[in-house]
Chains A and B, each alone.
Chain A
Amino acid sequence: MPPLPDSAFDGEGFLRDLNAWNHGVAEQLASAEGIALTEAHWEVLHLLRAFYDEFDASPAMRPLVSYCKLKLGPDKGKSIYLMQLFPGSPAKIGSKIAGLPKPDNCL
């Protein structure tokens, strides 16, 4: 599938039409963040989407860590693990790559 044009993303790099998300788009979003997606990234991206489906909201850092612990085990349910995969702000950057709604910066 060809990459989406620049116009598919807003000024902050968020996907405008969330229905257009697929694995190729995730690769594109990740590379804009300087991240090359590995299996470990995908595991968390799928988890973020599962969180969204289950709880109808994108997670803040604390529940994301708890959810990873619950679903992936204690080694991966740590903020340091998520920080290594998505440096800076894992919940925010991970959600962006996972094609979840743009956060309203409420925290």
Chain B
Amino acid sequence: MSDTAPKRTLVVSRHAPYGNSRARAALDCLMAAAAFEQDVSLLLLGDGVLQLLPNQSPTEGTRNHQKMIAALPLYGVETVYADSSALARHGLAAGDLPAWVATLSDTDLQNFPHQFDHILGF
């Protein structure tokens, strides 16, 4: 593969938004790649779907993850993919989610990553 061939990258984010710094790290990395016009997508797996929880209200001095993630369409990341089993497990219904979220079933998830050149796991 040549240096200049455009690569498709999938950022996989498995952590809830505030327990540690990992969800934020995934988001910063995704936004940087998008700011550099890379072809990059986000997949929220497992507890990572909690990043979509409505009405987040973190303590003062912690950025609101729900607000930050809502900027993704402006970064050119039009769709965020989320694990539908995990959403159900956490009691999140499709109606709770922003319009730019697409859900993937367990079957979808088996093939979904294959379309990407790189996977960055967080």
Question: Does B102 have its Cβ within 8 Å of any Cβ on chain A?
Answer: no
Question: How far does the alpha carbon of A67 sit from the alpha carbon of B73 in the complex, in Å?
Answer: 10
The reply on A20 being an interface residue by CB < 8 A is no
Q: How many A-B residue pairs have CB under 8 A?
A: 45
Q: Which of B37, B64, B67, B68 is the one whose CB lies under 8 Å from A62? A: B37
On whether the beta carbons of B70 and A63 are closer than 8 Å, the reply is no
Q: Are A54 and B31 in contact (CB under 8 A)?
A: no
Pick from B32, B64, B75: contact of A56, CB under 8 Å: B64
* Interface residue? A1 (CB, 8 A): no
Assess whether A4 is interfacial by the CB under 8 Å rule.
no
Question: Is residue A59 contacting chain B, with contact meaning CB distance below 8 A?
Answer: yes
**CA–CA, A61 and B31, complex, Å:** 11
Query: Which DSSP category, helix, strand, loop or mixed, fits chain B's interface?
Result: helix
Q: Is the interface of A mostly helix, strand, loop or mixed?
A: helix
Interface CB pairs A-B, < 8 A, 25: A51-B71, A54-B67, A54-B70, A54-B71, A55-B67, A55-B68, A55-B74, A56-B64, A56-B67, A56-B68, A57-B63, A57-B68, A57-B71, A59-B71, A60-B32, A60-B75, A61-B35, A62-B34, A62-B75, A63-B35, A70-B74, A106-B28, A106-B32, A107-B32, A107-B35
Question: 7 tightest A-B contacts by CB?
Answer: A63-B74, A55-B71, A60-B35, A56-B67, A66-B74, A56-B63, A56-B64
Chain A contact residues, CB within 8 Å of chain B: 51, 54-57, 59-63, 66-67, 70, 106-107
